[in-house]
């Protein structure tokens, strides 16, 4: 999926575009508070990445080893 959201001078929020795919979970290193809130409201699990290797992330996800992200990054530029 091409990121054409507002961060790249497009329309819409990246989180909304991802939700169009109907995921059960997203795996991230970090996320701003607004996007985190959007995923939480949609009942999509936001999980902390524990590797930068996709194969390892998938294995960790399958083994239920990833922690849930519970707060947005402090460096986020956007507010709720």
The answer to whether position 39 is within a domain reads yes
**Spatial distance between the Cα atoms of 12 and 63, rounded to a whole number of angstroms:** 34
The answer to whether position 12 is within a domain reads no
The answer to whether position 75 is within a domain reads yes
Rounded to two decimals, what is the model's pTM?
0.76
**Can you spell out the DSSP letters for 21-44?**
T--SEEEES---HHHHHHHHHTT-
The answer to whether position 3 is within a domain reads no
The answer to whether position 16 is within a domain reads no
Token readout for 67 is 């922690």
Taking only the tens place, the pLDDT of each residue in 4-30 is 545 555 566 889 989 999 999 999 999
User: How many domains is the chain partitioned into structurally?
Assistant: 1
Residue 34 clears pLDDT 70, i.e. is over it: yes
> What is the domain extent for residue 38?
21-80
| Residues in CB range of 6: below 8 A, 6 or more apart | 12, 13, 14
């Amino acid at each position: 999926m091409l990121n054409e959201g507002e961060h790249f001078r497009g329309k819409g929020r990246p989180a909304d575009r991802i939700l169009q795919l109907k995921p059960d979970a997203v795996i991230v290193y970090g996320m701003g508070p607004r996007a985190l809130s959007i995923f939480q409201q949609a009942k999509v699990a936001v999980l902390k990445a524990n590797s930068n290797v996709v194969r390892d992330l998938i294995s960790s996800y399958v083994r239920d080893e990833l922690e849930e992200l519970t707060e947005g990054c402090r460096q986020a530029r956007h507010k709720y």
